[in-house]
Every structure is written in C-alpha cells, then in structure tokens.
Amino acid sequence: MAISLQSDGKDGKKSLVAELNLVPYIDLLTCMVAFLLITAVWTQLAQLKLSQHGPGGTDGVDPPMTKVMVLVGAEGFNLAVDQDRVQIAKKNGEYDFQGLLAELKKVKAGHPDKDDIQVASEDSVVFDSLARTMDVALASGFPDLSLLDSGSAGL
C-alpha cells in the first residue's frame, strides 16, 4: 500500500511517496487473536461445577457429612470414617492393598451415596505406594479423590 503526499510546489518541496508497511500490524492482530482464544479456554477450565441439593432433614438442619480418609503410614494404612478408625497393618513388610480394598468396599456399602475420599501420607511413604492407594480408592467406588499431607489430615 502506498501513500502519496503532494505539495503545490510553492515552498519548493517535492512530492513524497511512501510505502505503508502493514506486516507489523497484522502480526499484532494475529497474536491478539491467539491470546484471546487461549484465555477463552482457561475461563471454561476455571469454573466450579456446583449442584444444589434439596432440603436436608425434616427439621431443616442438613445431616452431617461423612468423612472418609486413608492415611498411608510407615506401619500400614489407617482408615478413618468419621470417628471410627481401622488399622490395616503391613503383611510381610508390604502394604496390604487387598485388605484396604475390602475395608473400603465395606465403607462404600455402608455409605453408597459417598463419592469423595481423602488420602494422606506420611513423608516417608514412597510415591508408588501412594499411587497404588489412590488406585485402590478409585476401584472401591470413590471417584472423587483429595490428596492431603499428613499434617493437615488431623490423624
């Protein structure tokens, strides 16, 4: 694209013809469109999905929520369901994942509407054991996992 500026010739100036370079402007617009498309995806990912449940008990007070937590420690597992605690000790120096699966299935049978579970570990636990614990929790019917450190677990 060219711009032409002409003078009337009285002041002795010559006509000026200049090229207007639009490439930087197009580059800027392309970057802005890409940025806006990327941030539009992040706004979808940042949304929290909430669901409104109906009213709680008959007296208008919601029933207390059941808290299920598994602590992976050096001695084995500590399963806590509200105030009840079950110790699942290691067998032959290995974690008893089958015992944990059986106990979690009992908890799921007792609380079929419960989908969330908290998994916590001590600092000395190897990540492979923690990952297998989370796999057992998923297999026993708790798809909503929360991973905590043992300090915030409160066990």
Is 58 a domain residue? no
pLDDT tens column, 12-49: 666 677 788 889 999 999 999 998 888 776 655 555 55
Residues (pLDDT < 70) of the chain are 1-15, 41-64, 150-155
Domain that holds residue 144: 68-153
Domain match, 83 and 41 both: no
The total of other beta-carbon atoms located within 10 Å of residue 120's CB is 24
pLDDT at 44: 55
**CB contact at 8 A, 89 and 95:** no
CA distances from 69 to 52, 86, 129 (A): 25, 11, 16
Number of domains in the chain: 2
Is 59 a domain residue? no
Determine the residue type at 29: L
Is 15 a domain residue? yes
**CB contact at 8 A, 78 and 85:** yes
Tell me which residue of 22, 15, 28, 20 sits closest to 2, measured CA to CA. Answer: 20
Is 93 a domain residue? yes
**CB contact at 8 A, 71 and 80:** yes
pLDDT at 146: 84
Domain match, 27 and 93 both: no
